């Protein structure tokens, strides 16, 4: 098993590049004890960037990568250059066992394709699923998958996603018996496609895993905190995620406009500032950053391309927690239990 303290970071990924990535790594080093980092990318640029974070040098090792995956580059093109790119080399460090996880803010499609080819799938898993944490009105975040890795899914895929999502919720959110639901157009048993209804029937008959299947959930209930894991195909999940993110920005911008509309409104803002700060902090995606490709024989975390220093640190911390709680083994064990009970 790889050293759980080493995380491979694609230092060249992300919209804002090296400076934000290194700042995020430095922040993670202070927040999470015992972590070490492989900083993968242009060696000269990384050494120059580390001058702003001198203490990080003690906990990191630079791994040179001469090339970078472009943000709009096709996965097929990126795969051919994997051995030379910062993204591909970071994933390969996980494959070699030198790193316990890889974190990148780069091209999502390329990251998934490289990770799937390099690390392979766990036995019993047909496809990887992209899972992320979303804020809710409950005491913890909610896990949602798939968020774009698979646009079409059959019932078997959805059941596998549910098992993996429940294992992730137990690992990352410390929920011992996660409540799981399938995203659907209604809560009634007869609603939805054949695949969704078949998946529901199979999940009701899956007692071997530590999870509680709660049936169907509609899109307007996602943020209520009623379930811990929401399962869907990647097409629906990506739309739901982008809609939720857009709604959060809409509410924030609307509040800004309202508070600036008059002197009385500005006074009202000063009075209500603690509440608005709490709202902003709760909805800030940087506090929930770090989607993971579940189903791989290794941990690969996708940080949002526009993540801030805090967001990058959150993604790295999420990766470290999955490693320390042995997420990959937990998923494999759960799949084995389901197969034995079948």
* Residues 229/230/232/238 CA torsion (nearest 10 deg): -110
Q: What is the pLDDT of residue 3?
A: 47
H helix or E strand, kind and range, residue 287: none
pLDDT confidence bin for 271, thresholds 50/70/90:
low
Contact 287, 310 (CB under 8 A): yes
User: Which of the pair, 21 or 335, is modelled with greater confidence?
Assistant: 21
Mean pLDDT of 133-154: 87
pTM metric for this prediction: 0.87
Give the residue among 329, 331, 336 at the shortest CA–CA distance from 129.
331
Q: What is the mean pLDDT of the chain?
A: 87
pLDDT confidence bin for 334, thresholds 50/70/90:
confident
CB atoms < 10 A from the CB of 99, how many?
30
Output the CA–CA distances (angstroms, integers) from residue 218 to 4, 81, 92, 152, 193, in the order listed. Answer: 38, 42, 39, 19, 14
Angle between helices 263-283 and 234-259 (to 10 degrees): 150
Lowest mean pLDDT among 126-130, 183-187, 189-193: 189-193
Lowest mean pLDDT among 62-66, 141-145, 156-160, 286-290: 286-290
pLDDT confidence bin for 120, thresholds 50/70/90:
very high
Mean pLDDT of 111-119: 93
Lowest mean pLDDT among 90-104, 160-174, 248-262, 311-325: 248-262
Q: What is the pLDDT of residues 203-227, one digit of tens each?
A: 988 776 788 999 999 988 888 889 9
Q: What is the pLDDT of residue 305?
A: 80
Contact 63, 40 (CB under 8 A): yes
Contact 79, 70 (CB under 8 A): no
Q: How far apart are CA 83 and CA 334, in angstroms?
A: 33
Check the CA dihedral 177-183-189-193 and report its sign: negative
Q: How far apart are CA 57 and CA 218, in angstroms?
A: 48
User: Which of the pair, 13 or 9, is modelled with greater confidence?
Assistant: 9
Q: What is the pLDDT of residue 195?
A: 93
Q: How far apart are CA 183 and CA 342, in angstroms?
A: 25
Q: How far apart are CA 39 and CA 21, in angstroms?
A: 9
Q: What is the pLDDT of residue 2?
A: 43
């Amino acid at each position: 098993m790889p050293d759980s303290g080493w995380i491979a970071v694609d230092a060249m990924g992300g919209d804002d590049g090296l400076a934000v990535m290194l700042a995020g790594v430095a922040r993670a080093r202070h927040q999470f004890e015992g972590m070490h980092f492989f900083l993968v990318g242009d060696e000269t640029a990384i050494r120059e960037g580390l001058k702003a974070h001198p203490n990080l040098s003690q906990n990191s090792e630079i791994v040179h990568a001469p090339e970078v995956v472009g943000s709009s580059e096709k996965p097929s093109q990126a795969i051919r250059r994997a051995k030379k790119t910062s993204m591909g080399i970071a994933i390969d460090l996980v494959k070699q066992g030198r790193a316990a996880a890889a974190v990148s803010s780069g091209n999502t499609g390329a990251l998934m394709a490289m990770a799937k080819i390099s690390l392979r799938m766990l036995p019993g898993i047909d496809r990887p699923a992209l899972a992320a944490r979303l804020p809710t009105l409950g005491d913890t975040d909610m896990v949602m998958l798939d968020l774009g890795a698979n646009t079409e899914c059959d019932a078997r895929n959805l059941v596998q996603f549910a098992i993996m999502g429940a294992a992730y919720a137990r690992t990352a959110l410390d929920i011992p018996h996660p409540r799981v639901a399938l995203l659907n157009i209604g809560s009634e048993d007869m609603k939805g496609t054949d695949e969704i209804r078949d998946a529901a029937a199979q999940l009701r008959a899956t007692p071997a895993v530590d999870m509680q299947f709660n049936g169907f959930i509609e899109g307007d209930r996602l943020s209520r905190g009623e379930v811990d894991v929401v399962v869907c195909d990647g097409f629906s999940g990506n739309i739901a995620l982008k809609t939720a993110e857009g709604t959060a920005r809409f509410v924030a911008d609307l509040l800004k406009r309202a508070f600036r509309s008059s002197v009385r409104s500005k006074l009202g803002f000063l009075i209500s500032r603690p509440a608005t700060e709490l709202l902003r902090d709760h909805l800030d995606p940087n506090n929930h950053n770090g989607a993971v490709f579940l189903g791989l024989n290794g941990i690969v975390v996708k940080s949002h391309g526009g993540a801030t220093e805090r967001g990058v640190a959150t993604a790295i911390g999420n990766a470290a927690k999955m490693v320390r709680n042995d997420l990959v083994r937990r998923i494999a064990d759960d799949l084995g239990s389901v197969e034995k009970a079948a």
